[in-house]
Amino acid sequence: MLDNLLILVQAPTITVDLVLNGILVGAIFALAAYGMALVWGVMNIINIAQGEFVMLGGYVAVIMSAHGVHPLLAVPVAAVLLFGLGWLLYRTVIFRIVERDLFTSILATFGISIVLQQLMNTVFGGDVQVAQAHLGTLLLMGGMVTLAQIKLLSFALAAVLAVVLVLFLRRSRLGQAIRATAQNARAARVLGIDTDRVYAATFGLNAALCGACGALVAMAYTVHPYIGLPYTIRSFMIVIVAGLGNLAGVIAAGLSLGAAENVAGFVLGTQYQLAFVFLLLVVVLVWRNWRLARKRQYLK
Amino acid sequence: MSDAHKKLAGRLAILAVGLAAPFLFPAYQSQMAELWLFVVFALTWDLAGGQMGYNSFGNVVFLGIGMYACVLTQVGLLYDIGIYNGARGGGSATFVFDLPHYLEGLALGLPVGALLAALAAAVLGAFVLGMRGHYFAICTLGLGVAAGEVANSWEWIGAGSGMVPPTPPQVIGDLSRFYYYFAFALAAVTFLVLGWLYRTRFGLAINAIRDDEDKAEAMGLQTTRIKVAAWVIAAVFLGVSGGILGNLKRFIDPIDTAFSGATFGVWMVLMAILGGKGTLWGPVIGAVLFEVIKEATWTYLLGWQRVALGLLIVIIVVFFPQGILGWLRERFPDRFGRRVEADLSGTAEETAR
Amino acid sequence: MLHHRTLALAAVAALGLTTAPVFAQAGDTITLGAAVSLTGKYSTNGGHTQKGYDLAVKKINDAGGVKVGGKTYKIEVRYYDDESTPARGAELAERLIQQDGIKFLLGPYSSGMTKAIAPVTEQHKVPMVEANGASRSLFTNNYKYLFAILSTSEKYLASAVTLAAENAEALGKKPSEMKVALAFENDNFSQDVRAGVLEDLKKNNMKVVIDDELPRDLNDMSATLTKVKALKPDMLVVSGHSKGAATAIRQLDQMQIHVPILAMTHCDAAGIIKKFGKAASYTLCGTQWAPSLTYSDKLFGTAADFAKEFDKAYGYEPPYQAAESAAAVEVYANAFERAGSLDPQKVRDALASTDMMTFYGAIKFDDTGKNIAKPMALYQVLDGKYEVVAPSKFAQTKAVVPAPTD
């Protein structure tokens, strides 16, 4: 651990490399997290299958690239397919639990996540899959900082998607209906908004976002059936830190998480990278709770 | 026959079946041993999840700590743990456990496991049990995974290569049968202790916390202390069950056996909900049913069993959130009516005391 | 009271499970039992294992079956899915033996699983021929019923280290000046490979500059590779099953890191050539078997014939995991015929005295049950093909070391 820190001190360019690469992957985290915030805020559902949607998007890219289609095309295709899946899941399962407590939604979506994971594992096997985008790598600072073009591209795409999403929610009728439902579902219903349709669209939209993320993950990293849970946990953590309905916060938290995770993996060793993510979650939650407790004390 | 007599007869029947089962169905004794441990899992999960309203996905932390603590004690009494695990159950050195030492290790290991698990519950609980609802659920999910990842990288306890519990001496005979009785005894004790606990003031207090924590606090209950105490009690039994499970399975994998959030961690929740959350018999029934379903899918749906289990979770949570007992209670309220009254008078007595 | 009745009912239902079918040596078939990883992290290699078993069984049955004591038997395999978890594997082995009455076991995939199952087969005195548990710790427990037809894992990459030492001059260095980076998963198999590599490094006085562990659910090892970028070692050794191989190749390419000597395990199982094309070039891979080796037997013909047949049946070139699994079935068939009986004890004794040649290589067990007759081989990825470069007896071509910069 100490010698790793020493490397960082001796070669500051490495630090730059770690942080930049972390920020690039952080954009993907932020996108998935925004989807989670949307579903949580609008439908009051915590979707544990978030990471599995990412994984499915990844497999769309893998399959397409295996059939000779350029995997970049998989980004929109995965989004459309996953939107369909999200819609379907809402119509079959989720609509039954929308009005129930959060724990029910956690457990039910946990079940869905297991089904999706195992389904992919049974169909495609448990091994890593990749989609080759055949893009080069950008070398900076005498080759010490390497940024794969696909990561840069996925960062840009994530940014574009975020902008499109915001415009959609602000400008379109459906987007406005979604926001109205988030604020007060009953009032929205009174005003003639078909909240059931809004919920279905929201859940589909979230799945579509995750699907797009997944296609990017398959090109920049690797996918296998079990990559889901860490993405779910990261999304959850980002939403807690940023708060619901705070896009700027989600982006900031997502990018920082990416950077922090990458540096932690370097310093602590790759094998502790996941443990770091999960322990960070616990720390964030305890910290949040402590802050709330102090606030309550204050009020008393 | 009076009610009390019927109850006694029922319990004696279960005792007789439990004691005789390994001889009646010798081929299934390891599954039956697992079943009794599942009963412990479901019962202890329900203590915090059903009775107190704190749904945890992280109780495997106590299971894992109990398992490692027990097995490490068993080994550590005789050999250097670093060398034992360095040899990965093999190596040039041989590790022999004769009967007195083996039993001594077990007699010491199981309580040590319980103690460390309880300690972990006390420390973690102090931090985590302040969270409400879903924050608690996801935080414990994170704790379970993090514990597994740490164990998976910790060289001294065998890391990802896992750890082999001490090989029992020949005299022990059939290992599965030996540990079957441990599991059965533990399940019986857990059931009796929790049944007693739910009839005390403490039981009322945790129910009050489930129903409305703020009001409970306003009534003067020390909610944090009670919550931690409940978790510690659950951890004690889980810790012991961990020691038994580790020895029964003959091989401890840090993530798949010890801190197995994706299997035991979720199954505990599922079993309790399947049988009926917040009841005494519900988790027991849920565990039995779940073990049957699990074994059946493993036998007849080869390769698809996990998909089937995931579907089962969705179906149960969506369609049967009240569980079997809850469903029966709704369906035949009169059959439960008398019991409820009896329970009420019992609890009134308790409060009067 | 109702509670008791419900419980009693449930208990009856639980025990009702006991009506599962019994797969004993009924009729004229010999049933082998195997718990393999059909789901979970090892499912790809578990699949190779199962296909290897199946192909050999089919081939033997098509050739008329096995003659045991004047009677001809067909072979079949009863599978369970261990979900890539060792504890489950042990449980299923017990189930195969106790509930299904199976007297002969084939091994699972991976050392961890084999290690969990071996005590069970030992307790019940049921022989197990395994083809996918290479960890040497399996062979220090004095097991009497365990037979492994593969070379133990500390030998996997030993020849790669030797190769590096021999070619140190090409890098303008003495072997003792060479810097080596290690990245190994923290499981039985990989840690054993690491132990073997460390021994050989010590022999050559090479210096280890990075010694990282990889997580089990690996999909990003850039933290380790960033260290490689900073410290510029002469050799990088990676072992983490198929996941480790695929992730390393992808990210080395992405991060534009050039390592003069890259050695790893599971190249062919991960399909690195198909997945990454040119990026996989010059990688050295330890392998138990290769289609180009010159071994042969009566059943399958040469190693190349086996590869062709496997490809025809399953549509891809067999990785060594499939080949060794097929050979395990051949070993059983051979032992049954020599034992002239289906008594587990007699079959065990026949297994112990196995001395045969297969398309997979020579097989002869020592006292601990491991195969001592077959050497490991080393591939290099050259022009989009795996070429055997060591041992010299089977080498198709000379290794290109160090890898050219482009």
How far apart (Å, rounded) are the C-alpha atoms in residues A49 and A88?
A: 14
C281 Rama sector, left if φ>0, alpha if ψ -120 to 50, beta otherwise: beta
Q: What is the ipTM of this complex?
A: 0.84
Q: Name the more confident of B131 and A138.
A: B131
Cβ–Cβ < 8 Å for A246, A44 = no
Judged by CB atoms closer than 8 Å, whether chains meet at A128 and C247 is answered as yes
Contacts of A149 (CB under 8 A, 6+ apart): A135, A136, A137, A138
pLDDT at A130: 86
How far apart (Å, rounded) are the C-alpha atoms in residues A255 and A278?
A: 17
Judged by CB atoms closer than 8 Å, whether chains meet at B134 and A106 is answered as yes
Query: pLDDT digits over B23-82, tens only?
Result: 888 888 888 999 999 999 999 999 999 999 999 999 999 999 999 999 999 999 988 888
Average of per-residue pLDDT across B7-29 = 88
How far apart (Å, rounded) are the C-alpha atoms in residues B294 and C157?
A: 41
Judged by CB atoms closer than 8 Å, whether chains meet at B133 and A112 is answered as no
How far apart (Å, rounded) are the C-alpha atoms in residues C286 and C390?
A: 9
* Residue C215 with chain B: CB contacts under 8 Å: 149, 152-153
Q: How are beta strands C66-68 and C284-287 bridged, if at all?
A: unpaired
In a domain, C12, yes or no: no
Judged by CB atoms closer than 8 Å, whether chains meet at A279 and B146 is answered as yes
- CATH for A2-273 is 1.10.3470
If asked whether residues C234 and C317 sit together in one domain, one would say: no
Q: Could you say which residues from 201 to 260 on chain C have a Cβ atom under 8 Å away from some Cβ of chain B?
A: 213, 215-216
Q: Which CATH number covers residue C306?
A: 3.40.50.2300
Judged by CB atoms closer than 8 Å, whether chains meet at B306 and A118 is answered as yes
- Give the strand order in the sheet containing C66-68: C66-68, C71-81, C29-36, C104-106, C128-130, C146-148
Q: How are beta strands C66-68 and C71-81 bridged, if at all?
A: antiparallel
State which residue of chain B sits closest to A269, comparing Cα positions.
B153
Judged by CB atoms closer than 8 Å, whether chains meet at A18 and C43 is answered as no
Query: pLDDT digits over A228-241, tens only?
Result: 988 999 999 999 88
If asked whether residues C203 and C113 sit together in one domain, one would say: no
CB of C276 within 8 Å of a chain A CB? The answer is yes
If asked whether residues C115 and C56 sit together in one domain, one would say: yes
* Residue B88 with chain C: CB contacts under 8 Å: 115, 135, 137, 188, 191
Judged by CB atoms closer than 8 Å, whether chains meet at C14 and B175 is answered as no
Query: pLDDT digits over A80-89, tens only?
Result: 999 999 999 9
> Chain-wide mean pLDDT for chain B?
87
If asked whether residues C166 and C246 sit together in one domain, one would say: yes
At CB < 8 Å, which residues of chain A contact C? 4, 7, 11, 14, 17-18, 21, 25, 118, 121-122, 125-128, 130, 132, 137, 139, 143-144, 146, 148, 150-151, 220-224, 226-227, 230, 262, 265-266, 269-274
State which residue of chain B sits closest to A114, comparing Cα positions.
B310
How far apart (Å, rounded) are the C-alpha atoms in residues C47 and B282?
A: 40
For chain A, report the end-to-end CA distance as a whole number of angstroms. 45
Cβ–Cβ < 8 Å for A220, A156 = no
C285 Rama sector, left if φ>0, alpha if ψ -120 to 50, beta otherwise: beta
Q: Measured between CA atoms, how close is A279 to chain B, in angstroms? A: 6
Average of per-residue pLDDT across B176-202 = 94
Q: Measured between CA atoms, how close is A137 to chain B, in angstroms? A: 32
What's the burial of C353, exposed, middle or buried (CB within 10 Å: 0-12/13-18/19+)? Answer: exposed
Q: Measured between CA atoms, how close is B44 to chain A, in angstroms? A: 18
Cβ–Cβ < 8 Å for C177, C205 = no
Average of per-residue pLDDT across B6-28 = 88
- How far are the Cα atoms of A138, C229, C254, C256 from residue A149, in angstroms, in the given order? 6, 18, 9, 12
Q: How are beta strands C104-106 and C361-364 bridged, if at all?
A: unpaired
* Residue B260 with chain A: CB contacts under 8 Å: none
If asked whether residues C243 and C172 sit together in one domain, one would say: yes
CB of C47 within 8 Å of a chain A CB? The answer is yes
- pLDDT of A140 above 80: no
User: Which of A126, A227, A270 lies closest to C224 in CB terms?
Assistant: A270
If asked whether residues C25 and C70 sit together in one domain, one would say: yes
CB of C297 within 8 Å of a chain B CB? The answer is no
**Cβ-based contacts under 8 A for chains B and C:** 156
What tokens appear for A109 in the block?
Answer: 């979506």
Judged by CB atoms closer than 8 Å, whether chains meet at B310 and A117 is answered as yes
The total number of structural domains in chain C stands at: 2
E strands, C100-206, are 104-106, 128-130, 146-148, 179-185
Cβ–Cβ < 8 Å for C290, C323 = no
For chain C, report the end-to-end CA distance as a whole number of angstroms. 80
If asked whether residues C166 and C309 sit together in one domain, one would say: no
* Residue B137 with chain A: CB contacts under 8 Å: 102-103, 106
CB of C353 within 8 Å of a chain A CB? The answer is no
Residue-range definition of the domain harbouring residue C386: 155-287+377-390
In a domain, C100, yes or no: yes
Average of per-residue pLDDT across B291-308 = 82
In a domain, C400, yes or no: no
Average of per-residue pLDDT across C101-118 = 90
What tokens appear for C45 in the block?
Answer: 């290699």
pLDDT at A300: 60
Which amino acid type is present at position A261? Answer: E
Cβ–Cβ < 8 Å for B27, C18 = yes
> Chain-wide mean pLDDT for chain C?
86
> Chain-wide mean pLDDT for chain A?
89
If asked whether residues C264 and C385 sit together in one domain, one would say: yes
Neighbouring C-beta atoms of residue A249, cutoff 10 Å: 18
